């Protein structure tokens, strides 16, 4: 039985924010120290929404640079680009032939797109929906199965996709299990709310709510963004409730426990204003992200360094993606026997 393989995809659609860092990047970096890991930039998934070549190219590099800047070691982890592993698309076709259409009709992302049409009063519920979105779960299953991923760390919104992948692996194994079986993958989904970072308005930080703070904002802009987090007008000297405060919650993810406890005490006692709290928050966020931002800026200014990592990682990924009986042999016929 193969060792556990942790695999996840990063859809390059816009810049990362502090919520992605806390909820996705940090746990994935921790897993990379412990397990065999495959992390890839899901550029063909992004193609469903991003149609501009320059924008997509930028996002692919920016996605990879973010992970590398945050400390992902491309020697230890296979870091690759989805489109550079064409076996994925071969497998997508094979899996499509085994997957009932009804399963795709019930997929959340597709249903949500139809619901949006209903709400907008559009009678053709499929208006504006492309086949890429419709087939998305099959492509995602192929991403996972082609690498024989066993554990898939994803956000909660992706759990249906992992269940579908397990179903699709089952259809394949049932049909062809005599000659080859895919491991049936499990989602690694954080169940607790402890790792959900609030956005500037107190709801979950998300690009779709426009309440996010980008991960690598330049220092002065980061300070401004933190200063702009709404707080009430309680005077400096009055006691304040740290529990309802967004900056305190954010501080909990970036400062050490002692600093957080001290800040909470000072807020409760009175004498600490929201402005001072935000300064503490800025210092903590900047101390953690400053060196990473520098690495990120360096990589984005030297994109060939990113491209090289993706090329090398994709070659390793491709070697893994080849059917097992073709691995290592270059996929061709066996070499002739040595001369006697
Ligand atoms: P967004 O909601 O901004 O579109 P995504 O859905 O692209 O973010 O999230 C990508 C990854 O980041 C997922 O694993 C998700 O769980 C994680 N993530 C996103 N927002 C947060 C947040 N506010 N707190 C913790 N994790 C988050
Ligand atoms: N769909 C995932 C997202 O939107 C990205 C993704 C694509 C992925 N392929 C994957 C995640 C395979 C895990 C495994 O976040």
216-294: CATH topology: Tyrosyl-Transfer RNA Synthetase (1.10.240)
Using a 6 Å cutoff on CB, does residue 138 contact ligand 2?
A: no
pLDDT at 141: 98
Q: Which of 59, 63, 140 gets mutated to test ligand 2 (max ligand atoms within 8 A of its CB)?
A: 140
Instruction: Report, as an integer, the average pLDDT of 70-99.
Output: 97
Using a 6 Å cutoff on CB, does residue 22 contact ligand 1?
A: yes
Using a 6 Å cutoff on CB, does residue 10 contact ligand 1?
A: no
Comparing CA positions, the residue from 146, 138, 147 lying closest to residue 165 is: 138
Q: Output the CA 21–ligand 1 centroid distance in Å.
A: 8
Q: In which element (H, E) is residue 317 found? A: helix 303-321
pLDDT in tens, 177-200: 998 999 999 999 876 556 789 999
Instruction: Report, as an integer, the average pLDDT of 149-177.
Output: 95
Instruction: Report, as an integer, the average pLDDT of 215-243.
Output: 95
Q: Report how far residue 278's alpha carbon sits from residue 285's, in angstroms, rounded to the nearest whole number.
A: 10
Q: Tell me the average pLDDT of the chain.
A: 93
Q: Report how far residue 169's alpha carbon sits from residue 183's, in angstroms, rounded to the nearest whole number.
A: 7
Classify residue 330 as left (phi > 0), alpha (psi -120 to 50) or beta: left
Cβ neighbours, 10 Å, residue 316: 16
Q: Report how far residue 182's alpha carbon sits from residue 5's, in angstroms, rounded to the nearest whole number.
A: 13
Q: In what order do the strands lie in the sheet with 186-188?
A: 78-81, 36-41, 5-10, 151-153, 186-188
Q: Output the CA 22–ligand 1 centroid distance in Å.
A: 9
- Least reliable range by pLDDT among 192-196, 277-281, 328-332: 328-332
pLDDT at 323: 74
Residue 208: exposed, middle, or buried by beta-carbon count in 10 A (0-12, 13-18, 19+)? Answer: exposed
What pairing do the DSSP bridges indicate for beta strands 186-188 and 5-10?
unpaired
Give the distance, in angstroms, between the CA of residue 128 and the centroid of all CA atoms in the same chain: 25
pLDDT at 336: 53
Domain boundaries for CATH 3.40.50.620 within the chain: 5-197+303-327
Confidence of residue 328 (pLDDT cuts 50, 70, 90): low
SS3 211: coil
Confidence of residue 147 (pLDDT cuts 50, 70, 90): very high
Using a 6 Å cutoff on CB, does residue 11 contact ligand 2?
A: yes
pLDDT at 2: 57
Domain boundaries for CATH 1.10.240.10 within the chain: 216-294
Confidence of residue 331 (pLDDT cuts 50, 70, 90): very low
Q: Which ligand is nearest to the CA of 140?
A: 2
Q: Report how far residue 213's alpha carbon sits from residue 221's, in angstroms, rounded to the nearest whole number.
A: 10
Q: Report how far residue 71's alpha carbon sits from residue 337's, in angstroms, rounded to the nearest whole number.
A: 46
Q: In which element (H, E) is residue 187 found? A: strand 186-188
pLDDT above 50 (res 332): no
Contacts of 173 (CB under 8 A, 6+ apart): 181, 182, 184
Q: Which CATH superfamily is domain 5-197+303-327 in?
A: HUPs (3.40.50.620)
Q: Report how far residue 233's alpha carbon sits from residue 25's, in angstroms, rounded to the nearest whole number.
A: 35
Contacts of 195 (CB under 8 A, 6+ apart): 22, 23, 27
């Amino acid at each position: 039985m193969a060792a556990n393989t942790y695999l996840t995809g990063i859809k390059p659609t816009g810049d990362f924010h502090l919520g992605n860092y806390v909820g996705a990047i940090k746990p994935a970096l921790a897993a990379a120290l412990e397990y065999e890991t495959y992390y890839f930039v899901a550029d063909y998934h992004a193609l469903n929404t991003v149609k501009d070549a320059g924008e997509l190219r930028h996002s692919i590099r920016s996605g990879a640079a973010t992970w590398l800047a945050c400390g992902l070691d491309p020697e230890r982890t296979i870091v690759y680009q989805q489109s550079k592993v064409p076996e994925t698309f071969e497998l997508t076709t094979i899996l499509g032939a085994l997957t009932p259409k009804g399963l795709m009709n019930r997929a959340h992302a597709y249903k949500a797109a139809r619901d949006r049409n209903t709400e907008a009063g559009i009678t053709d519920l499929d208006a504006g929906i492309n086949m890429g979105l419709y087939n998305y779960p099959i492509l995602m299953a192929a991403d996972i199965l082609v690498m024989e991923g066993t554990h898939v760390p994803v956000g909660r919104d992706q759990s249906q996709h992992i269940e579908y992948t397990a179903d699709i692996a089952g259809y394949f194994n049932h049909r062809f299990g005599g000659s080859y079986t895919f491991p049936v993958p499990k989602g690694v989904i954080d169940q607790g709310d402890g790792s959900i970072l609030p956005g500037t308005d107190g709801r979950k930080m998300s690009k779709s709510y426009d309440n996010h703070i980008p991960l690598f904002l330049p220092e002065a802009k980061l300070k401004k963004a933190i200063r702009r987090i709404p707080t009430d007008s309680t005077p400096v000297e009055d006691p304040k409730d740290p529990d309802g405060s967004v900056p305190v919650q954010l501080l909990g993810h970036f400062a050490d426990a002692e600093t957080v406890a001290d800040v909470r005490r000072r807020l409760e006692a009175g004498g600490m204003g929201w402005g001072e709290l935000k300064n503490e928050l800025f210092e903590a966020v900047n101390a953690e992200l400053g060196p990473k931002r520098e690495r990120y800026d360096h990589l984005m200014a030297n994109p060939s360094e990113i491209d090289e990592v993706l090329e090398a990682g994709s070659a390793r990924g491709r070697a893994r993606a080849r059917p097992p009986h073709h691995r290592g042999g270059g996929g061709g016929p066996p070499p002739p026997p040595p001369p006697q």
